[in-house]
């Protein structure tokens, strides 16, 4: 769903020939007073002093009509031929979001307004937070010259998601396009829309575009005092682009006269403040001497320039203090927009729980990270059973997510329930949907048994059984080797050699078998206790090299596909083997110890040359 909320794709091409016979003409439509209806929703707070007054009489007139009142007289007309087919899909399974997408796309392409209204209205009963589809619906009404209905659709959307900055921006742009510029009420309506928008969504961490849009619009109207007033508000709100706003505010102050930026009261107060400061500074001029205390102009050009610069400096200085405080708040809330509940933790534990509960049950029921954060929060509060319930319930709803199963395992491990953690991993291995998934969980189980429970024999058994099932999985061999190397090399020599033999004699690609064979020779050279085993390993290695040469010659003759083309090169261990191709060409006579090599079991193997090239 979260992706759907950002749906802004281009609308499909529609036919200009299709029209709605019952639609009202543009000349009959009039915009309702914006301030009469939007703020009636419970999510919004009380209207600010600067917002237009709410009028109960107009409220009655601007009630959002129900579906029936939006439908035109041809509602009973035949729907497009494939409408029933798409409709049945979502009727049978309203949770099928893809089905809704196909249905809405179809009615848009058909440009059939009654069908579109039916589809969109039913869609929003299930998915009211998809702001992009509210815009599509409004655009569809507008294309049919139903400006009033388009306005009503936007209002319904804003009632559903008043915090959507994007939907507010779309609605305000719609007002600018459709309102009559010659109407004296137009600017008041647009300003009222901006005010309600910043009241509803202006404290959002990413609301900067909305504020910028408001400031630019007031600038276009030449309302510099209104611009200053807006900056007074935004500079006190922690948003993502808080620093950008302050920079633009300073440009606003420097590029305009203080008299034009401030209200009369503010201008007079600032003039008196500066005069008072000059008087206390020991200068010859006393407060009020040769300087007006009201709004009178200063006739002396030098004094006028001085006053203007002093005023600008003081205005910026005052707002610098606001900026510094806001910057501190932003630093504390920087992760706020990623997790609102994290911010709430310092204020109300129950409030956090309510936020998570609402997000996981209503807004984002299928988003794993939110459920994981909720479970982590409950774990922090000591509610371990609740954390278990949250993760288990989500996993039952969305099957097959490794991150959820592993989080359940780590939860049990942190609280000492090792048997339950082991059981969860064993269950994941048994019920895996594929061999590769089973191997993934087998590695996790083996590492848990070895690293946490210190049970090497059991961990070895898990990986050995996994290798029998997934013989071509290089990671299984590597993890088994890593565990075996972690013990006493002298006492564990037989187990290490056994692991090498499984890889060398198994079903891996020839280059990987050669790599493991070389590794076996190096191990016996450095740590082995029997020279006979070293010589046998060396002979085995030469046999593999000859086998590789034979395969290459057969491939060159066209009798067989080169073995390397069969390999999955996205595996880093396989890629490393390809890079080591030159190192595998050996002279059977002697080793070359001039090049250093090292053991690094977690990274791709990349040793130097150990043999003279042929």
In the prediction, which pLDDT does 50 show? 36
DSSP tag of 587: -
Give the residue among 409, 425, 371 at the shortest CA–CA distance from 393. Answer: 371
Query: If you average pLDDT over residues 441-448, what whole number do you get?
Result: 94
As a whole number of angstroms, the distance between CA 53 and CA 41 comes to 16
As a whole number of angstroms, the distance between CA 149 and CA 142 comes to 8
Residues 355-368 have pLDDT tens digits of 888 778 766 788 88
Q: Is 220 helix (H, G, I), strand (E, B) or coil?
A: helix
How much of the chain is helix, strand and coil, in % rounded to 5?
A: 65, 0, 35
> In the numeric block, which tokens belong to residue 443?
């590695």
Instruction: Give 19 or 248, the one with higher predicted confidence.
Output: 248
> In the numeric block, which tokens belong to residue 103?
């249905």
**Percent above pLDDT 70 for the chain:** 72
**Percent above pLDDT 90 for the chain:** 39
In the prediction, which pLDDT does 293 show? 62
As a whole number of angstroms, the distance between CA 319 and CA 547 comes to 78
Q: Where are the alpha helices (DSSP H) in 74-185?
A: 83-92, 97-110, 113-126, 131-143, 147-160, 165-178
Q: How many CB atoms lie within 10 A of CB 605?
A: 20
State the pLDDT confidence band at 17, using cuts at 50, 70 and 90. Answer: very low
In the prediction, which pLDDT does 76 show? 43
State the pLDDT confidence band at 121, using cuts at 50, 70 and 90. Answer: very high
Alpha carbon of residue 585 to chain centroid: 49
As a whole number of angstroms, the distance between CA 29 and CA 20 comes to 15
User: In this structure, are residues 541 and 510 in contact, taking their beta carbons and an 8 Å threshold?
Assistant: no
State the pLDDT confidence band at 58, using cuts at 50, 70 and 90. Answer: very low
State the pLDDT confidence band at 305, using cuts at 50, 70 and 90. Answer: confident
Give the DSSP letter string of 381-448.
TT-HHHHHHHHHHHHHHSTT-HHHHHHHHHHHHHTT-HHHHHHHHHHHHHT-SSHHHHHHHHHHHHHI
- Is residue 591 pLDDT above 80, yes or no? no
Q: What's the Rg (C-alpha) of the chain?
A: 36
As a whole number of angstroms, the distance between CA 120 and CA 137 comes to 7
Phi/psi of residue 611, nearest 5 degrees: -130, 150
Give the DSSP letter string of 479-513.
HHHHHHHTS-TTTTHHHHHHHHHHHHTSSS-HHHH
- Is residue 53 pLDDT above 50, yes or no? no
As a whole number of angstroms, the distance between CA 350 and CA 343 comes to 13
Give the residue among 404, 412, 349 at the shortest CA–CA distance from 381. Answer: 349
SS (H, E, C) 589-602: CCECCCCCCCCCCC
Q: How many CB atoms lie within 10 A of CB 559?
A: 8
181-185, 269-273, 278-282, 409-413: lowest mean pLDDT where? 278-282
Residues 178-237 have pLDDT tens digits of 999 999 999 999 999 999 999 999 988 889 999 999 999 999 999 999 999 999 999 999
Give the residue among 171, 164, 156, 227 at the shortest CA–CA distance from 200. Answer: 164
Q: What is the largest CA-CA distance in the chain?
A: 109
> In the numeric block, which tokens belong to residue 93?
């399974």
Most confident of 19-23, 448-452, 523-527, 606-610: 448-452
In the prediction, which pLDDT does 363 show? 66
Residues 125-135 have pLDDT tens digits of 999 998 899 99
In the prediction, which pLDDT does 156 show? 95
In the prediction, which pLDDT does 103 show? 94
User: In this structure, are residues 608 and 596 in contact, taking their beta carbons and an 8 Å threshold?
Assistant: yes
SS (H, E, C) 225-269: HHHHHHHHHHCCCCCCCHHHHHHHHHHHHHCCCHHHHCCHHHHHH
Residues 428-440 have pLDDT tens digits of 999 998 999 999 9
User: In this structure, are residues 466 and 428 in contact, taking their beta carbons and an 8 Å threshold?
Assistant: no
Task: Using the Cα atoms of residue 86, residue 92, residue 96 and residue 100 in order, give the sign of their dihedral.
Answer: positive
State the pLDDT confidence band at 502, using cuts at 50, 70 and 90. Answer: confident
Instruction: Give 354 or 214, the one with higher predicted confidence.
Output: 214
As a whole number of angstroms, the distance between CA 558 and CA 553 comes to 9
Contacts 24+ apart (CB under 8 A), 502-508: 502/464, 502/467, 502/477, 503/477, 504/540, 504/544, 506/467, 506/471, 506/472, 506/477, 507/471, 507/472, 508/471, 508/472, 508/474, 508/477
Query: Residue 601: which residues within 8 A CB-CB, separation 6 or more?
Result: 478, 481, 482, 485
As a whole number of angstroms, the distance between CA 592 and CA 527 comes to 18
Instruction: Give 476 or 31, the one with higher predicted confidence.
Output: 476
CB neighbour class for 284 (10 Å; exposed up to 12, middle 13-18, buried from 19): exposed
> In the numeric block, which tokens belong to residue 156?
């319904």
CB neighbour class for 62 (10 Å; exposed up to 12, middle 13-18, buried from 19): buried
Q: Where are the alpha helices (DSSP H) in 301-367?
A: 301-332, 340-344, 349-358
31-45, 499-513, 515-529: lowest mean pLDDT where? 31-45
For the whole model, what pTM was predicted?
0.47
- Is residue 599 pLDDT above 50, yes or no? no
Mean pLDDT of the chain: 76
Residues 310-346 have pLDDT tens digits of 899 999 999 998 988 888 777 765 544 445 666 666 6
Q: How many CB atoms lie within 10 A of CB 214?
A: 24
User: In this structure, are residues 175 and 143 in contact, taking their beta carbons and an 8 Å threshold?
Assistant: no
User: In this structure, are residues 68 and 188 in contact, taking their beta carbons and an 8 Å threshold?
Assistant: no
**Residue found by looking up tokens 């099957």 in the block:** 399
Query: If you average pLDDT over residues 538-567, what whole number do you get?
Result: 72
> In the numeric block, which tokens belong to residue 527?
């740590």
In the prediction, which pLDDT does 346 show? 66
68-72, 362-366, 516-520: lowest mean pLDDT where? 68-72
Residues 155-176 have pLDDT tens digits of 999 999 999 999 999 999 999 9
As a whole number of angstroms, the distance between CA 429 and CA 432 comes to 5
Q: How many CB atoms lie within 10 A of CB 590?
A: 9
In the prediction, which pLDDT does 332 show? 63
> In the numeric block, which tokens belong to residue 271?
């003039």
In the prediction, which pLDDT does 517 show? 87
Query: Residue 451: which residues within 8 A CB-CB, separation 6 or more?
Result: none
- Is residue 612 pLDDT above 80, yes or no? no
Q: For the chain, how many residues are written?
A: 614
**Residue found by looking up tokens 């910043």 in the block:** 198
Instruction: Give, rounded to a whole angstrom, the gap between the first and last alpha carbons of the chain.
Output: 61
In the prediction, which pLDDT does 337 show? 40
């Amino acid at each position: 769903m979260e992706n759907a909320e950002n749906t802004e794709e281009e609308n499909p091409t529609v036919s200009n020939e299709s029209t709605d016979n019952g639609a009202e003409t543009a000349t009959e439509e009039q915009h309702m007073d914006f301030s009469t209806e939007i703020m009636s929703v419970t999510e919004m707070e009380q209207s600010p002093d600067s917002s237009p007054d709410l009028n109960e009489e107009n409220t009655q007139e601007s009630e959002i009509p129900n579906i029936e009142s939006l439908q035109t007289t041809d509602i009973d007309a035949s729907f497009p031929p494939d409408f029933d087919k798409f409709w049945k899909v979502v009727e049978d399974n309203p949770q099928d979001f893809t089905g809704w997408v196909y249905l809405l796309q179809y009615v848009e392409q058909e440009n059939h307004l009654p069908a579109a209204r039916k589809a969109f209205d039913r869609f929003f009963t299930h998915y009211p937070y998809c702001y992009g589809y509210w815009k599509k619906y409004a655009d569809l009404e507008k294309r049919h010259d139903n400006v009033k209905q388009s306005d009503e659709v936007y209002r319904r959307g804003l009632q559903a998601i008043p915090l959507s900055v994007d939907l507010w921006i779309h609605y305000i742009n719609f007002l600018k396009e459709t309102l009559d510029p010659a109407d004296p009420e137009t600017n008041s309506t647009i300003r009222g829309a901006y005010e309600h928008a910043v009241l509803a969504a202006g404290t959002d961490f990413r609301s900067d575009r909305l504020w910028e849009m408001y400031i630019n619009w007031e600038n276009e109207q030449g309302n510099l005092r209104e611009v200053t007033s807006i900056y007074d508000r935004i500079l006190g709100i922690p948003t993502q682009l808080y620093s950008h706003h302050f920079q633009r505010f300073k440009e606003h102050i420097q590029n305009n006269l203080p008299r034009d930026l401030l209200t009369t009261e503010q201008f007079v107060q600032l003039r008196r403040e500066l005069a008072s400061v000059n008087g206390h500074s020991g200068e010859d001029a006393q407060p009020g001497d040769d300087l007006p205390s009201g709004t009178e102009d200063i006739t002396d050009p030098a004094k006028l320039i001085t006053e203007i610069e002093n005023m600008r400096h003081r205005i910026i200085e005052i707002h610098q203090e606001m900026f510094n405080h806001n910057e501190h708040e932003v630093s504390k809330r920087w992760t706020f927009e990623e997790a609102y509940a994290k911010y709430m933790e310092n204020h109300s534990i129950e409030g956090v729980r309510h936020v998570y509960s609402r997000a996981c049950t209503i807004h984002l029921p299928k988003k794993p990270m939110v459920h994981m954060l909720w479970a982590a929060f409950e774990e922090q509060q000591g509610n371990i059973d609740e954390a278990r319930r949250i993760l288990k319930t989500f996993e039952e709803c969305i099957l097959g997510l490794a991150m959820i199963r592993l989080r359940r395992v780590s939860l049990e491990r942190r609280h000492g329930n090792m048997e339950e953690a082991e059981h969860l991993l064993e269950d994941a291995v048994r019920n895996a949907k594929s061999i590769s998934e089973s191997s993934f969980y087998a590695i996790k189980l083996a590492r848990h048994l070895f690293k946490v429970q210190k049970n090497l024999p059991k961990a070895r058994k898990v990986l050995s059984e996994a290798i029998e099932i997934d013989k071509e999985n290089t990671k299984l061999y590597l993890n088994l080797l890593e565990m075996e190397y972690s013990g006493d090399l002298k006492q564990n020599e037989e187990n290490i050699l056994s692991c090498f033999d499984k890889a060398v004699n198994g079903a891996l690609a020839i280059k990987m078998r050669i790599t493991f064979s070389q590794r076996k020779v190096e191990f016996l050279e450095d740590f082995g206790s029997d020279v006979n085993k070293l010589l046998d390993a060396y002979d085995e290695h030469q046999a593999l090299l000859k086998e590789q040469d034979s395969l290459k010659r057969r491939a060159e003759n066209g009798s067989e596909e080169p073995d390397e083309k069969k390999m999955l090169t996205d595996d880093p261990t396989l890629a490393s083997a390809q890079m080591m191709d030159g190192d595998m060409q050996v002279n059977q006579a002697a080793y070359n110890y001039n090049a250093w090599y090292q053991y690094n079991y977690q990274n791709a193997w990349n040793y130097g040359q150990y043999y003279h090239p042929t």
